[in-house]
Amino acid sequence: MKTSARALLFAALSGSALLSTAAAQASAQPTQRESVTIWGSLASEFLVLPGLSAGLSVGVGQLGGASVSVRGMADVIFVPLPDVNVPIVPLVGADLLFSGPAGNVTVYGGPGVGTVLGEVFWVSGTAGIRNTFGDSRWGYFTELKGRYLFDTAGTGLLSPGTRLGLTYRF
């Protein structure tokens, strides 16, 4: 792996660890409504490749006015090209999300890291909005994500994408 790719991965992991440590030290327990959330969605990679996502987030506390949670996500992306040997690509990652109210919705965003079967890695950023359906535990979300993908040889590529889906809060 090239030195710049290692440095980028180290910086992302260090930043996420520092932010999560600061968030855990800065607050008491998260509210019951923010404790555990299941996420499910339609997704895209490179803006045009379709996929599905599923995830689970756990609230870890407050940092100032923002709620802080850690979310694990798994994406399955379909690559409909005749030259591709494996048309279904699994991606697994984690995000550190900061969220807060903005009008009648909640805005959220934060950094993330992940891998495609240990062959390709990424650092990412996510920004989105979410809301509930009335007073129910069900809700919806939409988000934009940008991943910087790199392999063990240090070759890099920027991959923008989206997610649109449903949430269920315990």
Which SS3 state, helix, strand or coil, does residue 10 take?
A: helix
Q: What is the pLDDT of residue 30?
A: 41
More confidently predicted of 99 and 80: 99
The answer to whether the beta carbons of residues 122 and 149 sit under 8 Å apart is: yes
Sequence-separated (6 or more) residues with CB below 8 Å from residue 137: 168, 169, 170
The pLDDT of residue 11 is: 46
Q: Is the pLDDT of residue 25 over 60?
A: no
pLDDT per position as a tens digit, 26-82: 444 444 445 899 999 999 999 999 999 999 999 999 999 899 999 999 999 999 888
Model pLDDT, residue 34: 56
pLDDT category at 85 given cuts 50, 70, 90 is confident
Structure tokens at 142: 């939409």
pLDDT band at 154; cut points 50, 70, 90: confident
Query: What pLDDT does 84 receive?
Result: 82
Query: Cα separation of 78 and 76, whole Å?
Result: 7
Q: Is the four-CA dihedral 160, 161, 162, 167 of positive or negative sign? A: negative
- Least confident span in 7-16, 34-43, 92-101: 7-16
Domains by residue range for the chain, with CATH:
35-169 (2.40.160.20)
H-helix segments, 42-133: none
In this prediction the pTM is 0.79
Cα 25 to chain center, whole Å?
A: 22
- pLDDT for position 83: 86
pLDDT tens digits along 100-151: 999 999 999 999 999 998 889 999 999 999 999 999 999 999 999 999 999 9
Output the CA–CA distances (angstroms, integers) from residue 43 to 24, 47, 91, 165, in the order listed.
Answer: 30, 9, 12, 8
**Alpha-helical runs (H) found in the chain:** 3-25
- Contact call for residues 8 and 149 (beta carbons, < 8 A): no
Task: Tell me the C-alpha distance between 54 and 32, whole Å.
Answer: 21
pLDDT number for residue 8: 45
